[in-house]
Each structure stands twice: as structure tokens, then as C-alpha cells.
Amino acid sequence: MTPDEYVSQVLQKYKDSENEILQVETLAESVSKDLTVWANDCLSSISFSGAFAKGTTVKGSSDIDLFISLKSSTSNSLKEIYESLLDLASEKNWNPRPQNVSVRIIQGNYKIDLVPAKKQSNYQNWHSLYKSKTETWTQTNVASHILTVQNSNRIDEIRAIKIWRNLNNLEFPSFYLELTVINALYGKRRNIAENVLAALNYIAKYFPNLRVIDPANTNNVISNDLSSEEKSYIAQVAKASASQSSWGSIIW
């Protein structure tokens, strides 16, 4: 078996089945009904915004991201919106866990990240989000994020690095990972095994000092989401993986 064949086989192993996708859609629909009642007439839309929207899911580990777009006329502050959503999740016994810009809940075997955001006036896809870690806010364009990944032609490589991340239990936020892989493979040909190794070597060499910017907002520095220690550890693991003599020791 060639390296490309092996990596492709692993990617197929971690591909969601039609039944699993249906389960996700059913869960999302169920949660969305409660979110619709919660948001009332402030709701603009609820949609997938993470791996399921981008096509970068990894079986058994992909979180579901639901982006809750509220109208720009919503009078509540971003902090009030975030805390109100957290209260709702507690009332519904969703086992909520506050995260930086989302509220994580557990439904069945799935983790669902609820991302509340308020539309900016006169800007269709631009939203303001509350950052609970710093009690500040940021603006972003989730539609732009989705297109950036979908149009990168690096979906397979991104999924492979996500598998590697999960196997090594690394704290590596998905959008941060996706942008890192896209940057690492800029200008490279479509050779899956070589590209995955190239991405690992790039992470090993550059990641601790790499500045990664939100393509939709240059003031939003994605690389600030991890500490120096966390970045250094990811780089160390990438270096160790890239030096393995067998693909079976890198991803499996």
C-alpha cells in the first residue's frame, strides 16, 4: 500500500455515515426549536457553522457548531445574550460548559457548540460575538470562514491533521488548525501523504511563533487563542510524528 493509499484509507475510516449525518441533523433540529423560542422575534437564523458546514468532519469527534444569528435590532448586550443562552442551557439540562465565544452542550454522544452573535447593521454577514475569557467582543464573518475552507482544496489534508490532533489529544481549535494547514500547503500540489507530512513539518518548525489572522477580520488574531506553552507542545508532537518511519505511527 502506498502512503497516499494509506492516508486515503484512514480518511475513509473517519468519514461520517449517512445515518450519523442524519443523527446530527435531527439533534440540531431539536435544539434549534428551543433556541428559536429563546430568541423569539430577535432571531435572524440558526445554521451550521463549523466542520459540518465546511466538510471537514472527523467521525466520532467532530463537534457540532450552531451559529445563532440575532437581528441587529436586538437590544440586549452581547454579554447579556451569552449569559441568557447559558441560563437556557442549564434550564434544559444540556450540561452546558462556557467557552470563549460559545456555550458547549451535550446531546446524546455529541458535543454542540452554540455560538450566539448579533448582526451588525447594514452588513449582511458580519456579526459581533462576545468573548467570555476577556469580557470583550470581536467581529467576524462566519460565511467567509466557511468559504475560505471550502475553496481551499485542502479538505483531505485538514481532516488528516484533525485526526492527528484527536489521536494526540491536542488542544488545537479547529479554525486555527484549518488556517494553519491552508497556509502550510500554499502553492503545493495535490499529493495527500506528502502534504500531510509537509503540514506536520510546518507546524513543528513555525507554529510557536506563527501569527494567524482571521481572514474576515485582521484585528482578530486567531493565534492568540492558545498560550505559548500550548503552541510549543503542539509543535513538539508534530515534530515527533513527522519523524516516524511508518504512517501507521502518525495516523491510524
Whole-prediction pTM: 0.91
Residue 110 has a pLDDT of 87
**What cell was used for 48?**
451550521
* Three-state SS at 106: strand
pLDDT digits (tens, 9 = 90+) for 78-137: 999 999 999 999 999 999 999 999 999 998 888 899 999 999 998 779 999 999 989 999
pLDDT of amino acid 34: 98
**Residues of each domain in the chain carrying CATH 3.30.460.10:** 18-147
pLDDT value, residue 133: 87
* Distance (Å) of CA 177 to CA 37, 88, 162: 34, 30, 8
pLDDT at 122: 82
Can you give the pLDDT at residue 53? Answer: 95
- Amino acid 174: pLDDT: 93
Give the three-class secondary structure for 166. Answer: helix
Q: Is the pLDDT of residue 211 over 90?
A: yes
Instruction: Please give the grid coordinates belonging to residue 222.
Output: 486567531
Q: What's the pLDDT score for residue 62?
A: 64
pLDDT > 90? residue 144: yes
Sort residue 169 into left (φ over 0), alpha (ψ -120 to 50) or beta.
Answer: left
Closest listed residue to residue 227, CA positions, set 140, 104, 133: 133
Segment 38-55 shows an average pLDDT of 96
Q: How crowded is residue 151: how many other Cβ atoms within 10 Å of its Cβ?
A: 9
CATH superfamily of 18-147: Beta Polymerase, domain 2 (3.30.460.10)
154-177 pLDDT tens trace: 999 999 999 999 999 999 999 999
